[in-house]
Structure 1
């Protein structure tokens, strides 16, 4: 073993020891579990959601779905090289947008409903103006954001003028869409940044990564406020709690978890009672009482976050559920799958 190898091994061990010490210090602060604290609460009622609309139109795996701020329209991206904007109330397609690259991994709807964005293996983020059409009648491309050294894994609009992205080059970037310029560009994780969730007040955001950690960031800073360790594999999805004080995660390690900013640690681990699937996506109900997790076993699992009890399963998809989005109104969930379909649960 060379000198450099020995040095690396030593440093890795030091880092491991530091992380373990942090975990021990956190444990000391933990005087009770969420289950114990909430044991006196009545059990939550069974969540009874059914597929209100089955949205058919894609002809390949659907990888991502996101609701508009109006809680009515949603956008989906598929490997068939199309973005489709749907009216979830009627089940109709509002627009079909052909993409230059079929390898779409992430989609985002601006809260205003004026723009949609997508990206993936093409290593860029493309922004479309929903209200303006080009000569072919498709939504007009207003920006192609280049300069990524890895695939685009996640994107979220702060408003019509600003978008934040996470990518396979481990970076977080923020873009001024009017100028078409990056305003922020920094290394955020030690692996692909897979998921981004914005705080309800828009001041902070959470990221999840292949490096098994989640981080809390301030919009104005390039240094993480908090780092959360605990998952044993890729963190596929993060979702801010409506209270702004916590967030949920879904991971490849076959668990979903709830984390608290104030106590700087994990509050609960969610596992299904009978199966053992990996989780691809997560969302929280408007009150934060329920967590919904899309999984490899073709279904969406539901837990009561306070009592840490499995509440049920939404079954209907015929292949792995890749992404889900809870409407801002809390009245519906949209989910998409490798079965080429999008379902709206009400």
Structure 2
């Protein structure tokens, strides 16, 4: 690898930055309005009043990831204590505890059917468990170990019970056939770690966020990006597809959240927190897409009215960085997890 101050590398970086600027100038020329201007006649959304309905304790270390099942009742969390916990968010009870071979879990996923969960992290592997089958110890059966990454596993999402996509620190996206345990495709997706994946409502496309400060739109049937979105000035930690399927929201290390429109191929809105020291670890949109929620390293979840670009308040309760949030499919609850070792369900 050439040194960072290599003249050729410096020249290439400058060329790329100049191209970025030209692209942004071209986008600005065709930008005829902003989301706030277009929605001037729309009334402001009422203040969102959510409170902690369930405070779920059980993990013994930082909780890094959370994801709802398709039934909007159960969720899975992964923690550095080396356990996955399946929770019943209605009662707050633990339904299953799954001990992991590696404690360094960074991402979890629940199949929308509720039959399988997947997890992975610093072990450079994605492990899939069948919740309906138990081994001799009464623990959910491990059905697949998907190996073959040159970097940590940062994100995973089930397409259905038979296929899964993953993003990793080796800049790749992989699609897996869970029946055979084989890679269907694997391709370089970004110029830095892939850190977040969000599936479109119709399941045909997905968006990725990366350390290279960009987001990309992909078609599940193709291995090349359909669109690349620029604008963020630091790692894009989280992406969330808009329920309409026409856009997506992002949360970034650059202390901003943004909304991008797929059809006009550009940024629609920039959301800033009231305090300038809140970097965003995770983001999710309400079922209508009107409210954007972002988990922050300032221990809060920030909310915005997406159309009016107004900060709508914060959900306070966690005592440490909020690492991940997930909105239930039916839209009536939000689950969050944190380095404070707890899981909260807001409603």
**Runs of at least 4 residues off by over 6 Å:** none
Q: Quote how far apart the aligned CAs of 1:275 are.
A: 4.6
Normalised to the residue count of structure 1, the TM-score between the two structures is: 0.98
Q: Quote how far apart the aligned CAs of 1:6 are.
A: 3.0
For structure 2, list consecutive stretches of 5 or more residues without a partner in the other structure. Answer: none
Aligned to 2:36: 35
Aligned to 1:47: 48
Q: Quote how far apart the aligned CAs of 1:9 are.
A: 2.6
Alignment of 1:164 onto 2:158:
no
Aligned to 1:336: 337
Whole-Å Cα distance in 2 between the matches of residues 209 and 8 of structure 1?
A: 21
Normalised to the residue count of structure 2, the TM-score between the two structures is: 0.98
Whole-Å Cα distance in 2 between the matches of residues 215 and 56 of structure 1?
A: 36
Which secondary structure does the structure 1 equivalent of 2:313 belong to?
A: strand
Whole-Å Cα distance in 2 between the matches of residues 275 and 211 of structure 1?
A: 22
Aligned to 1:269: 270
Whole-Å Cα distance in 1 between the matches of residues 223 and 22 of structure 2?
A: 25
Aligned to 2:223: 222
Whole-Å Cα distance in 2 between the matches of residues 40 and 151 of structure 1?
A: 47
Which secondary structure does the structure 1 equivalent of 2:6 belong to?
A: helix
Which secondary structure does the structure 1 equivalent of 2:314 belong to?
A: strand
Q: How does 1:231-270 map to 2 (within 5 A)?
A: 231-270=232-271
Aligned to 2:174: 173
Q: How does 1:1-346 map to 2 (within 5 A)?
A: 5-346=6-347
Q: Quote how far apart the aligned CAs of 1:39 are.
A: 1.4
Which secondary structure does the structure 1 equivalent of 2:232 belong to?
A: coil
Whole-Å Cα distance in 2 between the matches of residues 298 and 38 of structure 1?
A: 31
Whole-Å Cα distance in 1 between the matches of residues 245 and 143 of structure 2?
A: 32
RMSD in angstroms over aligned alpha carbons?
A: 1.3
Equivalent residue pairs, number: 345
Q: Deviations over 1:72-125 (max 9, x none)?
A: 000000000000000001111000000000000000000100000000000000
Whole-Å Cα distance in 1 between the matches of residues 66 and 332 of structure 2?
A: 16
Whole-Å Cα distance in 2 between the matches of residues 144 and 272 of structure 1?
A: 40
Which secondary structure does the structure 1 equivalent of 2:225 belong to?
A: coil
Whole-Å Cα distance in 1 between the matches of residues 307 and 288 of structure 2?
A: 11
Whole-Å Cα distance in 2 between the matches of residues 291 and 249 of structure 1?
A: 9
Which secondary structure does the structure 2 equivalent of 1:225 belong to?
A: strand
Whole-Å Cα distance in 1 between the matches of residues 244 and 36 of structure 2?
A: 19
Q: Quote how far apart the aligned CAs of 1:67 are.
A: 0.1
For structure 1, list consecutive stretches of 5 or more residues without a partner in the other structure. Answer: none
Whole-Å Cα distance in 2 between the matches of residues 225 and 299 of structure 1?
A: 34
Contact residue 255 and residue 273 of structure 2 kept, 8 A: no
Whole-Å Cα distance in 1 between the matches of residues 322 and 130 of structure 2?
A: 28
Whole-Å Cα distance in 1 between the matches of residues 80 and 6 of structure 2?
A: 42
Query: Which has the higher mean CA deviation after the structures are superposed, 12-21 or 163-172?
Result: 12-21
Whole-Å Cα distance in 2 between the matches of residues 328 and 68 of structure 1?
A: 8
Q: Deviations over 1:176-233 (max 9, x none)?
A: 0001100010000011000000000000000000000000000011110000111011
Which secondary structure does the structure 1 equivalent of 2:42 belong to?
A: coil
Contact residue 255 and residue 276 of structure 2 kept, 8 A: no
